[in-house]
Amino acid sequence: MLTSKTPHLDLHGEEVAVVYALVNEFLQDNYKMGEEEVVIIHGKSTNILTNEVHKILKEHKLVLSYRLNNWNVGETIVKLKQK
């Protein structure tokens, strides 16, 4: 369940070349801290960041599932595997 304390990663203004490193580090850190869900904010304009983030999440070993936020399609909600 998302709350105001759910960890967020805001990628607005980031270049595609650095997105992999940022997302990977964010997921690893939150997995280590035992978080069940996190939010990645990628925006909703051209879908370049959205596509890159989803490509990363699809292949990431710590990701159980992910989906666009129904209330804000500029965000992706990620469910992490548990230890």
Domain extents in the chain:
8-80
CATH of 8-80, one of 3.30.1370.110, 3.40.1190.20, 3.40.630.30, 3.40.50.300: 3.30.1370.110
Give yes or no for a contact between 31 and 52, defined as CB atoms under 8 angstroms apart: no
Q: Which helix (H) or strand (E) holds 68?
A: strand 63-69
Predicted TM-score (pTM) of this structure: 0.94
The number of beta carbons lying within 10 Å of the beta carbon of residue 30 is 19
Sheet with 72-80, strands from edge to edge, namely 8-10, 37-41, 72-80, 63-69
The number of beta carbons lying within 10 Å of the beta carbon of residue 9 is 22
pLDDT tens for the chain, 83 residues: list them.
888 899 999 999 899 999 999 999 999 999 999 999 999 999 988 899 999 999 999 999 999 999 999 999 999 999 999 98
